[in-house]
Amino acid sequence: MIRPLVAGNWKMNGLKASLGEVLAVAEGVASGATGDAEMAIFPPATLLYAATVAAKGVVALGGQDCAADADGAHTGDISAEMLADLGASFVILGHSERRADHGETNEIVNAKVKAAWRAGLTPILCIGETQEERDGGQTLDVVGWQLRDSLPEGASAANLVIAYEPVWAIGTGLTPTVEDVAEVHAVIRQSLVDRLGEGAAAIRILYGGSVKPSNAAELLAVPNVNGALVGGASLNAVDFLSIAGVYKA
């Protein structure tokens, strides 16, 4: 039995006033609105510490990226140790916006996954194809090599979450069919098991890309979908709780 994870990626959104949303999510979780799902919020780093207070210990917190190094002369960067020091337990790595906007290669992401482990954080490693790659029939190849090259040795169900996020579905309102999601998640599962052994059957594989209250039930019921990575709809506590409400018995 895999405990599902519903993760909210706030991206570059949120000021102090947004902490009320974290509080509202925490209250919803405490009142049972999200069943047995694990809930995590990824606010901008500026809000991380205050968010840990608002989360009341019932919602996990994470960073949206980390540097590969633990410290040093890297102006503007934030290390995995710094995130952990503020109370983060997760970090999103290899998000397509980082890959596209900051030139993050699989090799860079691989080093950041190691950094997350060094600091005791669980990375949510993001992979997914562009529209062009999907149109070219390359989805399974792209996801396969991203997974192979971004993931260092030493992964297990205890220290890794994967997020499959088709780039063309992020922030667009578009989603793949449930058949397409099932196909990609099955391939990710198989390649994890091939590489890491049967224990990889318990690694959580999230779906991300335009998850909202109206499509959550359908997407989260797909085999090998063990939760969601939610962007836009996670900014609002009511919507975020409603998505995770799929897991309420």
**Contact predicate 128/150, CB 8 Å:** no
Q: Minimum distance from CB of 12 to ligand PGA (Å)?
A: 12
Active site residue 165: yes
Contact region with ligand PGA (CB under 6 A), list: 102-110, 115-123, 153-161, 223-231 = 223-231
Q: Considering the rule CB under 6 A, would residue 235 count as an interface residue with ligand PGA?
A: no
Q: Which spans in 119-208 are helix H?
A: 131-135, 139-150, 178-196
Site string for ligand PGA, 3-42 (x = CB under 6 A): ------x---------------------------------
Q: Considering the rule CB under 6 A, would residue 232 count as an interface residue with ligand PGA?
A: yes
Q: Pick the catalytic residue: 95, 97, 129, 185?
A: 95
Q: For residue 126, give the nearest of 109, 107, 103 by alpha carbon.
A: 109
Strands (E), the chain: 5-9, 38-42, 60-63, 90-93, 122-127, 161-164, 204-208, 227-230
Active site residue 95: yes
Instruction: Report the residue number whose CB is nearest to ligand PGA.
Output: 231
Catalog residues that contact ligand PGA under the rule CB under 6 A.
9, 165, 170-171, 208-211, 229-233
